Structures are given as structure tokens and as C-alpha cells.
Structure 1
Amino acid sequence: MARGDNSGLAWNEAACGSGAGIPGFLSQMNWWYKERRKKKKAPANLAVVETQRVEKVELPQEGMRCDVFLQQRNPWYSRSQLARTFDEERVLRNGAPCPPGRKLHAGDVITLILPPPHEDVEEMARIPFEVVFEDDVMFVVSKPPHLIVHPTGGYRYTTLLNALHYRYKNPNPEITPRLVNRIDKETSGLIICGKTSAATGQLSQALEQREVVKDYLALVEGHVVHDHQIIDLPIGKAKNTEIEMLRGIDHESGQPSKTEVWVVERLGRFTLLRCRLHTGRMHQIRVHMQAIGHALVCDHHYGVRDELRLSDLRPDPPPPFRVASPYGYNEGDTDADVTERIRAADTAKRHEYEALCRGEVVPRGEQDRLLLGRCALHSHYLKMTHPVTGQPLELTAPLPRDILGAVEALRRA
């Protein structure tokens, strides 16, 4: 099934006039944008397997290279993936194979033939999430860890958004679930979703204007001294790393970022915190806690350990355990190699999380066992105003069994 024909618009010389020069061009472009808004395509159903994408070249793309045209519309495609698509003649221009450097003309129809999904598509029906609140225009869900929130990279059909479309849009095409806020793959907890574009827009605006209170619970390294503090440090892209998504403190060009922190419980060499976001930067809590010397427990990118084990609770603990990161490229790696390595690591971690939630022992050698194997961060509390009724909403999601089990073990120690 093609996911929405992005229909173009024929040139309307009568409506625009045939005036030459900049005024005539601006008049023509103004007409094009007005007509384009009238032809907004229907939202895609992310529960349906996509076999091809059909795009029509429009006036602003006149003269654009075909590979650039497709990269702009499919940013989740890496350059090597896109190059392979051209090599395999899965890009068609007006029904015929098209080279990547071909200059396009307004009215050309570009078809991108997609390969079969390498994921188990049926898994989207089994993805677990808890609905914490729901009415006709919005809902809030609690997400488990080890679940990406929306399609990206090697995850096209096994994300939270796919599962939401499967539950809501498949039986009722009038409903299109949209995410208002996002949390990281290993972070668990509350996510706001809209059922209508109007409700989603209002909720997103409230989030941007900082009218939504968002609190997280985080288990961090070390004994946090101050009962209450505000971390006000600018965040930008991390330096000296090949992993594009990583962030760091950047006093020169970083964005203003503020996190408010309260101590919930001190647990020996660890501390349970409540963190409130006053801004919404990528990895904000993780970067801020690392910056003040209290990285999140089991934060694979910003922390000191990848697993919390029972032996770490001893008076003389071993060095923090680290594993080789599945991210980044080894010599000779392709995009597919990295994707499969990440997916394999995610699957193993998810199975261990499920075992911990069932109360099972996950052994580490003969005399040790796993307490926690993912970043100890949980979206715990939301307070907002309902976009239609105007009534206040306060919602909570308790600590999941894996972090709660680690906290209980630390209390006993």
C-alpha cells in the first residue's frame, strides 16, 4: 500500500498571471502555497505495511536532484541506504528507473519502492502499554522501557506509535494518534497523545509555553547533598563523538536548559531524585545530572556503568560493569550491521527487563545477579489543563518493577 500520494499542483497561469521578474514569480509562488494547503494529504496509518511512497514534484522542487528530493522527504533514510535504493532500481521517475543525479521537473511522479520489513510486523499488536487517561480528544499512556516511541532508523513497525495506530486507527480511521511529547527508548512512563489534530496542536502549544508540569524519578550515582537545587546549564551537541544524538554542556552555543531537582531518598552510594523539566532539551536530565557529578544509574551514554548488579551493593564493590556499545561503526560495518546490532541488544535487554518484572533472577555468573539493566529514568507525573474542557489533569505512573526492585535492594543493603 502506498502511504498517501503527495499530489502536486498544475501550473495555473491564468490565476497567477504571466508577469515576468520577481513580482510575477512571487505571485505565482503565493498561489502555489495557498493551493498546496488545500490539498493536505490524509495522515498515514502506521499500522499498515508500506510498500511504496509516491511523491509528485512541485514547483519549488523544479531542477532538484532526485536523490536530494528523496532525502528531504525520507530523512530516516541514510545516504548509503538511499544509494543502494538507486543501485537496485527501486526509484522510478514517471514509471522508469531514475539515476540519483537526474534533475526533476514539476509534474514528475517519483516512486520509491520499499523493501519488505525486516521486523516481525505482527509484533506491533503485542507491544505493551498502559492507558492512564483517555477521552474523545486525547489520551495518556505509560510506556515500558526498551521501546522507541516513533518510527526511525531500523524500527519502522515496532514502535509505540505503530502500536497506537494499530489499536486506535485501524478500527476507526477518523482517529490518528499523535505524540505530544517524547521520551527516550530506555525511559519508561507517561506520554501525552492527541486523537485529533486540533487537540494535538493545543497540547503541543501548552508544552512549548511550559504550561505542562513534567516530573521524572531518577536513580543516580552518589550521595546528593542538597535536598533541593536548580541546574541551569546550556545544552548543545556533544563534542568529540561520532554518535550524532549525544548532547553536552555548551556554554558558547548551547540552548538555555533548566532542571529542578528534589531528593526523594538517599540510598547509601545512590540517590533517588525527583526531576522537573523547565525546558525540554534532548537528554536534558541525563546531561544535567552528569554535569553535577551524579550520572543516572545504567546510563549507557552519560553514566559510569551499564548494569547495576548485586555485587555493586557490597561495602567493597567491583569496578562498574561496562559493555561495548552497539552504537557507532566498526571497521567494515554497513548501516544494516549497526541496525541489527542495536536491535539485538535491545531485544536482549527487553527480555531481561521482563524477567525482572516477573520477579525472576537474572544471573551474572555463578554468584552475582542483575538488579537493573537500563537507564534509571521514569516519567512519573504530569499536570496540565485539558485542551477542551479546561479542567486540570494530574496523572501519575508508579515506578516500574525493575527500578522499584533496584531501590528495594538498595534499601536492604
Structure 2
Amino acid sequence: MNEANGYYDPITYQVTQQEEGWTVKAVLDRKLKLSKRMRVRLKTVENGITLNGEACYLSKPVRAGDVVAIRMEQETSDDILPQDIPLHILYEDEQLLVVSKPAGLIVHPTSGHYLNTLANGVVYYWQAKGEKYRFRPIHRLDQDTSGVLAIAKNAYAHQMVSEQLKKGTVDKLYHAIVFGCPDPAEGTVNAPIDRNPENPHERIVIECGAHAITHYSTERVFIDAALVKVRLETGRTHQIRVHMKYIGHSIIGDQFYGIARPNESREERHQWIGRQALHASLLAFDHPISGERLVLEAPLPQDMSELITRLEQLDETER
């Protein structure tokens, strides 16, 4: 990263023979996939958009071999206090930082909760390396959900991956340990989700809600429990937790969306893990610059592995 003069390294595209005669705007739109909002923003930046290193009109035609470039000003998250929090980094380059978030860690500071978040740790990490970025999570994980989380280092990278999320080309796989054994063993939950009118903090399946689709498949079966793999087609708040409850297989340890009247054995299992047994195990998307498919994985954390061990031991005892 070249931080000279308060700018990041430019992002470039070299015009091909097939694109000769296009305008600079066409290259920005079709090849760099620049949003209208970002294009307008870059026009206010000195040399934010250049052709062969020089400022240009967007209507200017290009020739084969020309280089269209954009450059962005450095940004920082001055409203986030740096805090030394250990990070488990899965991948990092000049565009992205991908971490494995532990359970119990909130992603972003909220009103009255300014410290002990992932954002505090990431800002500290960047400052310690002498780097300047703004904290831009591409997606979110609940406080008590662990696993893969991607952070963009600039507005362009954030836009490019966010567009993939909207198009449904990002693969998001989770593992959950649920009560009961789903029947059928694999299937799709297509049920709209919205806030509970009686409790704004809770989401429920409701006819007038937002479109929500969850695919699941059972990987292991225990006595009155199962390890399931879940793939999200949409990304509604608390979607997996709400959908699994909806089909009668709430996640073990989920005190908010858990079973309403657990029997004694289920109540005991709720205490075997200190949070919902839900883990974002895989995130895959196209790199915002190279287009290469990135596949980032995080193994099951210790508390979920220990829960599986206890369920295995219970199986052996009750056989």
C-alpha cells in the first residue's frame, strides 16, 4: 500500500482492442463496475479518475492499451477507539481483511457499548501497522455467532463484494447443532421474516415479512440432536435461528429463540454451551480486483466441538 499524499494505490484497468472507442464512463461502468454514487464521489477527488495518468472527461473515447484508473482518499474510523483485542486472521491483502470472529464479540460499537468489539480490535491492528483504513464489515454476525467475517478496506472493495451479496453469488455456509433430527434430513425453508410486532428485538416468520430462504442438510445425528449444515440464500437478521425454530429444531444454547417449554433433558443441554451453537464455517466470493474466487473457512470452535463430544457420550450412555 502506498499512502503517499493521503491516497491509496490506484485501481487500474487496461483497455483491450475490443473496447476501443468506448468512453471512460463505459469502462468505469462495465469493467470496473463502478456504482453511480462512487463515480460521483471520485469526480470530487483530485485525479480520482484518470486516463493514462491524467484527469479526463468521462465522455472521452479510449484506445487499446489505455489505462483507466481510480484512486481513493485514505479514510479512518476516528469514532472507533483502538483496543488491543487478539484477531484470528484468515486472509488479508490491500483490499480485504477476513477474520474468524469468536463468539461473544460484537462486530461494531453501539450506543453505550463503545469498547470490546471486533471493530475496536481491527482499528488497533491497523494503527499498530501504521495503516489507515475505515472499518467496513461487508456482512454481520450476531454477537454469539462465531466464524468467518469479511471486512473491506475501502469503499470500492465494499461495493464490489456487496453487489455479489445482492446478486446471491456469495456462498455462506454455517454449522449449527440443533434439537431433534430434521425430517427430511435435508430441505429448504422458504418463509418470510420480519420483526415481531410485540417485541421489536425479535424476528418471526410472518406472512408480510421479507423474503427469506434457508437450505439445510443433516451431517450427524445424535439422540434428540443433530449437526446440520446451513446455506443462506438470503441474509435476514437472525435468519438461521428463526427458520430452525420455525421447523421445530431450535439451536442448542439459543436462549432467545430456544424452545419455549424445554423438558428436563433439553434444558440440561441448553446449559452445555454458553451461546447458540451456530458457526459461520465458510465464506466464498470473487475478489474485488482480481476476480479470483476466494474460499475462506474456519473450523468449528472449541465450545461446539465439546458440545458434540458430550452428545456422543450421551449416545453411548443411552444405547
C-alpha distance in 2, partners of 1:128/1:206?
Answer: 29
Distance in 1 (alpha carbons) for counterparts of 2:212 and 2:291: 29
Query: What is the SS of the residue equivalent to 1:320?
Result: helix
Q: Quick check: 1:44 aligned with 2:77?
A: yes
**Is 1:412 equivalent to 2:290 in the alignment?**
no
Deviations 1:314-368 (A, max 9, x none): xx94562699xxxxxxxxxxxxxxxxxxxxxxxxxxxxxxxxxxxxxxxxxxxxx
| 1:38 shift after superposition | 4.6
Match among 145, 151, 161 for residue 193 of structure 1: 151
- The residue number in structure 1 matching 2:267 is 320
**Across the two proteins, how many residue pairs are aligned to each other?**
247
- Decide whether the 8 Å contact of 2:76 with 2:133 is kept in 1: no
Q: TM-score w.r.t. structure 1 length?
A: 0.56
2:8 corresponds to: none
In structure 1, the residue matched to 2:299 is: 398
The verdict on how the C-alpha distance between 1:321 and 1:266 changes in structure 2, with shifts beyond 3 A counting, is closer
> What residue is the counterpart of 1:289 in the other structure?
244
Alignment check: 8 A CA contact 1:238 1:246 kept? yes
2:64 aligns to what? none
C-alpha contact (below 8 Å) 2:80/2:109 kept by paired residues: no
Task: List alignment gaps of at least 5 residues for structure 2.
Answer: 1-39, 46-72, 315-319
Match of residue 365 from structure 1: none
CA contact (8 A) 1:46 1:162 kept: no
C-alpha separation in 2, matches of 1:305 and 1:130: 35
Matched with 2:62 is none
Q: Distance in 1 between matches of 2:222 and 2:134?
A: 44
Confirm or deny: 8 A CA contact 2:75 2:132 kept in the other structure: no
- Determine helix, strand or coil for the equivalent of 2:201: coil
2:252–2:269 Cα contact (<8 Å) kept = no
Q: Does 1:376 pair with 2:268?
A: no
Classify the secondary structure of the residue corresponding to 1:161. Answer: helix
Q: Given that residues 224 and 266 in structure 1 are in contact (C-alpha distance below 8 angstroms), is that contact kept between their aligned partners in structure 2?
A: no
Preserved contact between residue 88 and residue 100 of structure 2 (Cα < 8 Å): yes
Q: Is the 8 A contact 1:372 1:406 kept in 2?
A: yes
Q: Distance in 2 between matches of 1:398 and 1:43?
A: 31
Equivalence for 2:14? none
| Contact map agreement 2:180 2:225 (CA 8 A) in 1 | yes
140 and 218 in structure 1: CA distance in 2 versus 1, 3 angstrom threshold: same
Per-residue deviation at 1:221? 0.8
- In the TM superposition, what is the alpha-carbon distance from 1:234 to its structure 2 partner? 0.3
Q: How far off is 1:399 after superposition? A: 0.5
In structure 2, distance between residues paired with 1:201 and 1:238: 31
Q: Runs in 1 of length 4+ with deviation above 2 angstroms?
A: 37-48, 169-177, 316-319
Distance in 1 (alpha carbons) for counterparts of 2:183 and 2:94: 45
Aligned partner of residue 132 in structure 1, secondary structure:
strand
User: Structure 1's 319 and 226: CA in aligned 2 closer, same or farther, altered over 3 A?
Assistant: closer
Residue 394 of structure 1: how far off its partner (Å): 1.1
Is the counterpart of residue 247 in structure 1 residue 203 in structure 2?
yes
8 A Cα contact 2:76 2:132, kept in partner? no
Q: Structure 2 CA distance, aligned partners of 1:183 and 1:302?
A: 16
Amino acid of the structure 1 residue aligned with 2:107? V
1:34-88: CA deviations, max 9, x gaps?
89x959995433454xxxxxxxxxxxxxxxxxxxxxxxxxxxxxxxxxxxxxxxx
Render the CA deviation track for 1:287-321: whole Å, top value 9, x for unaligned: 00111110111111110289xxxxx9xxx945626
- Helix, strand or coil at the partner of 2:159: helix
CA distance in 1, matches of 2:272, 2:152: 35
Larger C-alpha radius of gyration, 1 or 2? 1
Distance 1:371 1:300 in 2: 12
Q: Does 1:275 align with 2:233?
A: no
Deviation at 1:240? Answer: 2.1
Any conservation in 2 of the 1:206–1:212 contact (CA below 8 Å)? yes
Q: Tell me the CA shift for residue 155 of structure 1.
A: 1.2
Q: Which residue of 1 aligns with 2:172?
A: 214
Question: AA paired with 2:253?
Answer: C
1:221-240 aligned within 5 A: 221-240=179-198
Deviation at 1:207, TM superposition (A): 1.3
What TM-score do the two structures reach when normalised by structure 2? 0.71
Residues 129, 249 of structure 1: alpha-carbon distance in 2 compared, 3 angstrom cutoff = same
Distance 1:213 1:197 in 2: 21
